[in-house]
């Protein structure tokens, strides 16, 4: 079955989207805002925090970037209206960074002001290395406007620990993740052990600076290492939370974390641009192919 899963996963990028949709469905909350709101509410009712993201990146027209900006502003109003425990994550290239720094800065400032109006939080996602410095520049600009804004640190980048040393303080809030983009060995670790080691070093550095950390990983061994350190050092639960992607199977681990009193936030993506995102998730977890096939045949 693993061989079959691999064949289907590799073939998905060249197959019609209608064929891929059943395999993508576990990872995406839907194509519309209403779809996402339903899933966010369900997760909240189970005790999970959430963050919502409109799928897409590398927008290359100002009109499209500003349209996405308006969607994010509307989302803040909707979250507030429905009293959801949810904030927003966005990719800078989705709102203009692929066009120019000025375009992204202007659009993200507009979104940030809407976050402030609704007393909510904004997470600025990190993309591949050509945009790293500009993303930090946007983040630093946002901090001059509103404090409830955070950024992402990728543990596979050599530079990340140094970035934390320069940025972290009691007002710094970062999601720590491993990183998903293909980067040169000159700037990024490729060995899983080194990536995990750097992840832990970043987490420890941020705690020393009393910064808030979101530990974004599905790696059960890494979660064990984090928990062992948290419990040994008696780290305050007010200084961190765990984060996971919507739909990634964790074998009951998330519920166990909730039952132990830890905060867990689910990253909820939605939108019509679901295809590329879902293919990436399936490459990380090809077993979903066999789960879906079993359900299809069971239904029939």
Q: Which residues are catalytic?
A: 125, 175
Contact 266/43 with Cβ under 8 angstroms? yes
Contact 99/60 with Cβ under 8 angstroms? yes
CB atoms within 10 A of CB 51: 23
Alpha helices in 25-152 (DSSP H): 33-45, 62-81, 101-117, 132-143
**90 closest CA partner among 295, 268, 251:** 268
Q: How far apart, in whole angstroms, are the C-alpha atoms of residue 123 and residue 284?
A: 24
Evaluate the CA torsion angle 199, 88, 44, 240 in order and state its sign.
positive
Q: Which residues on adjacent β-strands are paired with residue 215? A: 176, 242
Q: How far apart, in whole angstroms, are the C-alpha atoms of residue 179 and residue 181?
A: 6
């Amino acid at each position: 079955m693993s061989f079959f899963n691999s064949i289907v996963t590799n073939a998905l990028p060249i197959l019609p989207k209608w064929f891929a949709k059943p395999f993508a469905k576990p990872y995406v909350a839907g194509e519309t805002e209403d779809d996402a709101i339903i899933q966010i509410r369900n997760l909240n009712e189970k005790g999970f925090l959430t963050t919502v993201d409109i799928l897409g990146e590398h927008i290359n027209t100002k009109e499209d970037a500003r349209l996405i900006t308006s969607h994010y502003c509307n989302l803040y109003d909707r979250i507030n209206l429905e009293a959801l425990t949810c904030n927003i994550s966005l990719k800078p290239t989705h709102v203009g960074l692929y066009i120019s720094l000025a375009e992204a800065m202007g659009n993200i400032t507009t979104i940030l002001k809407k976050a402030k109006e609704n007393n909510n939080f904004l997470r600025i996602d990190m993309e591949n290395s050509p945009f790293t410095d500009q993303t930090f520049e946007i983040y630093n600009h946002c901090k001059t406007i509103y404090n409830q804004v955070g950024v992402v640190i990728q543990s596979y980048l050599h530079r990340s620990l140094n970035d934390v040393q320069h940025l972290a303080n009691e007002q710094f809030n970062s999601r720590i993740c491993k990183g998903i983009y293909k980067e040169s060995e000159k700037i990024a670790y490729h060995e899983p052990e080194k990536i995990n080691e750097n992840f832990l070093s970043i987490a420890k550095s941020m705690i020393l600076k009393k910064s808030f950390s979101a530990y974004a990983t599905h790696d059960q061994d890494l979660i064990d290492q984090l928990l062992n350190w948290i419990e040994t050092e008696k780290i305050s639960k007010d200084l961190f939370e765990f984060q996971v992607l919507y739909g990634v199977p964790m074998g009951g681990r998330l519920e166990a974390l909730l039952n132990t009193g830890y905060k867990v936030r689910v990253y909820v993506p939605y939108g019509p641009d679901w295809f590329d995102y879902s293919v990436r998730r399936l490459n990380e977890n090809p077993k979903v192919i066999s789960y879906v096939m079993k359900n299809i045949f069971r239904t029939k």
